[in-house]
Amino acid sequence: MTSLPVAPDTFHVFDTTLRDGAQQEGLRLTVADKLKIARHLDELGVNFIEGGWPGANPNDTAFFAAAADGELELHHAELVAFGFTRRVGAKAADDPLVQALIDARTPVICIVAKSHDEHVFRALHATLEENLEMIRDTVSHLVANGRRVFVDCEHFFDGYKSNPAYALECVRTAAEAGAEVVVLCDTNGGMLPSQMGDIVTAASAIGVDLGVHCHNDTGCAVANTLAAVDAGVMHIQGTVNGHGERTGNANIITLIANLQLKYGWSLVSEASLREATRISHAISGITNVPPNSRQPYVGISAFAHKAGLHASAIKVDANLYQHIDPTLVGNDMRMLVSDMAGRANIQLKGEELGYDLSDRELAGRITDVVKQREMDGYSYESADASFELLLREQLELGDDFFEVLSWRVLTGHEVKPEGDSEATVKLRARGEVLAYVGEGHGPVNALDMALRAALKQAYAHVDDFELIDYRVRILDQGHGTDAIVRTLIDTTDGERTWTTVGVGTNVIEASWEALYDAYRWGLTKRAVPVG
Ligand SMILES: CC(=O)SCCNC(=O)CCNC(=O)[C@H](O)C(C)(C)COP(=O)(O)OP(=O)(O)OC[C@H]1O[C@@H](n2cnc3c(N)ncnc32)[C@H](O)[C@@H]1OP(=O)(O)O
Ligand SMILES: CC(=O)C(=O)O
């Protein structure tokens, strides 16, 4: 087995979520969003935060002004302003966008420079020598203004394949003009890991510190970055959650976790790494891009186990089916209950929920019930609360908070502020028969209103329960309107959120079942009666 490289003393982690990450389709970050994300990145322990392109748009200019005026206190990272080399035929000292970089008042500036001969000719409309002069002039001007300068060599790998001598000349020119790090960019993201090493090694001969910036168009951004690390780069660029132009950038959390936990390098503190899951999810909240449940290390499914064989080994030792201890990155192991479960899943899930299911016969019986109900359309892996209720029924725990005597719902065209549907629910709770009418927007809302109104007489706190999401899925699509449907309802009481499931050929019946479970589960957790 090949040994892993040793960490260079001055290895940098450079985050570009606020610049290249923001180039993702559909993503728009306000100044306040950028300030919040920068604070999270600082907590994560990255060395550099590229904040955007001052002068290119008022938002980014305002972000750097806010940061310089004291709204961003970084404890660990340094803020970086991004821009490009001066315009063709101009002077760096006279170029307003170069001046905007200096005006951003950051200690570090990263400029992007062309390094692919075809791009110089066809995109820049310049000669090869003029492009070198643009790099030389811009870097030396920024250095003369007291800035540390990094240079992103755009399309470096493709440029090297087209004209290796010129691509290397761009790196050399940047280094000689005073760039501290020259970053080799796979701008189009077309590289493969096996192609990275030789090109990085060729650039290493120049003797400047090298970095790497990879896009994910071949699905290899992280692998390509690691291949460049193996070949000697000492600066890696990436974005949280892999945000970025097209298919995104190398995921910086995956990179940090790999280098820290697999290479054994110490890039961020152990405590910061344990915040990785929280930070990834917090940044998803700010970008308004839902978290990828299958994201390595920090996705909610990264340590979720569904298959019976996995669970039976995990019962012996969790490490038998996990590549790391999830708590190292602030994540948790989760056991899923489904028709692929064996006794072990049920026992481990029971343990997670606080029930002793060590009796093999009992666990086997519950497994059989789960498999049959999954066959009927239920899905317990997405409805923990309904699974717990099923468990409690099998354990005969006697949850008799209320008994439904009847329910019905009418829906029509009447336009009223209370809604277009009316439901009646009759139930027995704490020895009393309670019948209530609820009005709502749609039959499920009306049923919720009626059930809540009745239950409130016996258990006042059900008023805290709020239905926050409702999803319907048709299970046998060929059947048209008589198909079996599954409904999932998410409910919260402000402290916790739980999910329940219902199934039926009638969408209202399926919804009622999920609703009924939602109230039952809430009551089992906080059964405080009125009076
Ligand atoms: C690989 C990357 O992702 S690098 C980051 C890319 N990010 C962005 O482009 C986002 C922000 N960009 C912008 O707001 C605008 O493109 C600006 C303000 C930078 C420039 O806007 P405009 O002046 O209207 O030019 P436009 O975007 O149409 O074209 C870019 C110009 O820069 C030139 N250019 C391209 N790369 C470079 C470079 N490295 N150095 C100098 N000039 C460059 C192009 O040749 C073109 O020149 P032209 O206007 O004379 O044809
Ligand atoms: C600089 C940059 O974002 C790129 O080359 O992809």
Extents of the domains making up the chain = 12-287, 304-376, 402-458
Q: What is the pLDDT of residue 215?
A: 98
Does 3.20.20.70 match the CATH number of domain 12-287? yes
pLDDT in tens, 234-262: 999 999 999 999 999 999 999 999 999 99
**What's the chain's average pLDDT?**
94
Question: What pLDDT band is residue 531 in, cutting at 50, 70 and 90?
Answer: very low
How much of the chain exceeds pLDDT 90, in percent? 91
- Beta-carbon contacts of 388 under 8 Å, excluding residues fewer than 6 positions away, are 353, 521, 524
Question: How much is the CA Rg of the chain, to the nearest whole Å?
Answer: 29
Residue with the smallest CA separation from ligand 2 atom 6 is 187
Q: For 185-213, what is the mean pLDDT?
A: 98
Q: For 200-212, what is the mean pLDDT?
A: 98
- Beta-carbon contacts of 487 under 8 Å, excluding residues fewer than 6 positions away, are 470, 471, 472, 473, 501, 502, 503, 507, 510, 511, 513, 514
User: Are 236 and 225 in contact, with CB atoms under 8 Å apart?
Assistant: yes
- Worst-scoring range by mean pLDDT, 111-125, 146-160, 408-422? 408-422
Given a cut of 60, is residue 446 above it in pLDDT? yes
Ligand nearest to the CA of 53: 1
Q: What is the pLDDT of residue 400?
A: 87
Beta bridge partners of 466: 492
Q: Which of 91, 124, 237, 245 has the most ligand 1 atoms within 8 A of CB, as the residue to mutate?
A: 124
Fill in the DSSP letter of residue 342. -
- Beta-carbon contacts of 361 under 8 Å, excluding residues fewer than 6 positions away, are none
Q: Closest Cα to residue 249, out of 50, 487, 440, 12? A: 50
* Burial class for 69, CB neighbours closer than 10 Å (0-12, 13-18, 19+): exposed
Q: What is the value of pTM for the model shown?
A: 0.88
Q: 123 CA distance to ligand 1 centroid (A)? A: 10
Given a cut of 70, is residue 530 above it in pLDDT? no
φ and ψ of 204, to 5 deg: -60, -30
Quote the longest CA-to-CA distance of the chain.
91
Among the residues of 288-430, which ranges form H helices? Answer: 308-314, 343-353, 360-376, 384-394
Beta bridge partners of 410: 422
Question: What pLDDT band is residue 464 in, cutting at 50, 70 and 90?
Answer: very high
Using DSSP, state whether 35 is helix, strand or coil: helix
Pocket of ligand 1 (CB under 6 A): 53, 56-57, 84-85, 87, 112-114, 123-124, 134, 154, 187, 245
Q: What is the pLDDT of residue 1?
A: 60
Whether 402-458 and 12-287 are alike in CATH topology: the answer is no
Ligand nearest to the CA of 95: 1
Q: Which of 16, 18, 20 has the most ligand 2 atoms within 8 A of CB, as the residue to mutate?
A: 20
Q: Closest Cα to residue 522, out of 503, 482, 495? A: 495
pLDDT in tens, 316-362: 999 999 999 999 999 999 999 999 999 999 999 999 999 999 999 99
DSSP 354-385: T-----HHHHHHHHHHHHHHHHHT--STT-HH
Cα angle 405, 409, 415 (rounded to 5 degrees) comes to: 150
- φ/ψ region of 254 (left if φ > 0, alpha if ψ in -120 to 50, else beta) reads alpha
Residue with the smallest CA separation from ligand 2 atom 4 is 187
Residue with the smallest CA separation from ligand 2 atom 3 is 20
Using DSSP, state whether 482 is helix, strand or coil: helix
CATH of domain 402-458: 3.30.160
Pocket of ligand 2 (CB under 6 A): 20, 112, 152, 154, 185, 187, 213, 215
Q: How far apart are CA 367 and CA 244, in angstroms?
A: 44
CB 451: neighbour CB atoms within 10 A? Answer: 25
Q: For 454-471, what is the mean pLDDT?
A: 93
Q: What share of the chain is helix, strand, coil (3-state, %, to 5)?
A: 45, 20, 35
Q: State which amino acid sits at residue 509.
A: E
| Strand 497-504 to 48-50 pairing | unpaired
ipTM of the complex model: 0.97
User: Helices 360-376 and 343-353 sit at what angle, rounded to 10 degrees?
Assistant: 100
Using DSSP, state whether 409 is helix, strand or coil: strand
Ligand nearest to the CA of 154: 2
Q: What is the pLDDT of residue 413?
A: 75
pLDDT in tens, 284-327: 999 999 999 999 999 999 999 999 999 999 999 999 999 999 99
CB 238: neighbour CB atoms within 10 A? Answer: 31
Q: How far apart are CA 336 and CA 381, in angstroms?
A: 5
pLDDT in tens, 38-85: 999 999 999 999 999 999 999 999 999 999 999 999 999 999 999 999
